[in-house]
Structure 1
Amino acid sequence: MIKITGTRSYIDVEVDGKEVRIQGEMIVGGFVAYKKSMVKWNSPKDELIDDETKQYIIKKVVEKTKDSHMVIVFE
């Protein structure tokens, strides 16, 4: 299960019981998220996020938003 919330400048993604804040910017029809801003899980986990986990998060976010009014893309 994945939950996505956010503002104009970031999204919070909850996946597998952990949450990460991903910086980015709102654009017309969606949100551009910056991959490089995914460094560690939010408190209380505070664990580093490895490249494999980043790809998993990206895949889940893209799948969840691909057919919505707020498409999230990563760069």
Structure 2
Amino acid sequence: MKITGTRSYIKIEFEEKVIKIKGELLVGGFVAYKDSIKNWEPPHESEKIDDLEKQRIIDMVINETKNSHLVITFE
């Protein structure tokens, strides 16, 4: 898993696909908006992300960043 981003979104590279998740950079972390998790980036944009896969992505991102200097949380 590779996580990159800006002040307003993060990009998660997950299982050879990429998803862009909107959010907000705060002091010491990033708040990502669950509602923005809908589709993969091209060339997989036609693949919808169901609730089970969405939760799996969220859990993996939280686990990946829980001990880092930039903690990602979801709301």
- Whole-Å Cα distance in 2 between the matches of residues 58 and 14 of structure 1? 13
Counterpart in the other structure of 2:37: 38
Q: What does residue 55 of structure 1 align with?
A: 55
- Where in structure 1 do 4 or more consecutive aligned residues deviate above 4 Å? none
> Matches of 2:9 and 2:41 in 1, distance apart?
13
* Letter aligned with residue 44 of structure 1: P
Separation (CA, whole Å) in 2 of partners of 1:9 and 1:29: 15
What is the DSSP-based 3-state SS (H/G/I as helix, E as strand, rest coil) of the residue aligned with 2:35? helix
Between the two proteins, the alignment pairs up a number of residues equal to 74
2-structure distance, mates of 1:22, 1:52: 16
Offset from partner CA, 1:28-58 (integer Å, 9 cap, x none): 1000000000110000001111000000100
| Unmatched runs of 5 consecutive residues or more in structure 2 | none
TM-score (norm 2): 0.97
1:64 matched to which residue of 2? 64
The aligned counterpart of 1:17 is: 16
- CA root-mean-square deviation: 0.4
Tell me the TM-score normalised to structure 1 length: 0.97
Partners of 1:21 and 1:37 in 2: how far apart? Answer: 8
- Percent identity among equivalent residues? 57
